[in-house]
Structure 1
Amino acid sequence: MVPRIRVLVVDDQYLIRAGLAGLLRAAPNTVVVGEAADGEEALALAARLHPDVVLMDIRMPGTDGIAATRRLLDQADEPAPRVLVLTTFDLDEYVYGALRAGAAGFLLKDSGPERLLTAVAAVANGDHLFAPTVTRRLVEAYTPATGRKGAAAQDSTGEQLSELTGREREVLELTGRGLSNQQMAERLFISDATVKTHLNRAMAKLGLSSRAQAVVLAYETGLVSPGT
């Protein structure tokens, strides 16, 4: 029997939240374990219900989806829930914030039912719904507007970056440039598995939980510059 995916739906708009929950409840391998109207309620329910996936609205009053995602992932026991953020726009500073917070993917609110179910299943299985090129586009769009943050990030992570081996640093840079594991393997003349090992070790040293966070950090530390 295929395990059912436990989902917590978070959205401050009742009709949207009810619609999302209804679609998920109709899916054969998905169960909605709870619904929350804001970030604080989401944090409380996640701690009690231990969902596999949190479908998180970003723009909410009070504790928004970005802050809730960051706190949820910091506080959760392993395995932490996978957060799939909802956004109205595909290029949105809120999505950039979600990338930095460690979300596993983002989904447009105008996506169809099939896309929603596919996305939930994908992140539940450990995938990330960030195409490298889309992630890079988001980071390039918003890194210039956060120059001071970037400088602070560079100072705070400089010592950690210095702990990376030359190959780990190289793989992190290429990840920031949007290359896939296969593309990096071809460029560096190593196997896909070796690329994955180097990237995983770099992320562990830097305290990163997702490939998207690795891309953001590569830009904010100056390892990769916008437009290069």
Structure 2
Amino acid sequence: MINRFVQKLRGLAELSLDDAAELERVTSQPRRYAARQDLIREGDETGPMFIVLEGWACRYKILPNGARQIMAFLMPGDACDLHIKLLAEMDHGIQALTSALVARVSQGDMQALMQRHPNIAAAMYSAQLVDEGIMRAWIVSMGRRSSIERVAHLICELYLRARGIGLTYDDEFALPLSQLVLADALGMTAVHINRVLKELRLEGAMSLGRGSVVICDLAKLIQIAGFDENYLHRRLR
């Protein structure tokens, strides 16, 4: 099985065979989580670093009225909370959106690994900077992009992230997220999301099928979104 975590980090730094072997070792005993199962909840004592090897997860916050805001999608290869032990408790939850295979690595083990392998450290810090760039892009979307720009921008981002870990097939990639989940990430209603997705399909930019997205016209989708991939430090080619 391809280790998507190793594959992602190789896209961010030069890793030796020894570096890759060590990453394989620390992620060799993952745990299976069911869809909608929490990895950790808001208010819990901070725990290990989670590394998603298969499936999708998200960071989320529940508002006092019960509404949910998704703040990040975690795809295969994504790791989260490198320095979380500096905090006493979680200020948000992390939940599997699909069945997910997740490795749990203690902060001490990861810090020791990074000290012994400087290229792994460089890749991990780069990944953290990319995560912060994604967060800034989402803030801009929520604050200033129109609904169609917001949806198109997210699809461009997820397509590029999926392609970086080998999960695209020609112009198609798996998107195992319901319209309700997309709505919770984009600050829209499911009805509004449905309307925007139909508009993007009629524009000939993309189509959302059952569990996958087909990019029909990448240039048009980028134009609609006003998408600039610089915050991901990769290129759409």
TM-score under structure 2 length normalisation: 0.27
Considering fraction of residues, name the structure with more strand: 2
Greater RCO, CA 8 A, separation 6+: 2
More helix by share: 1
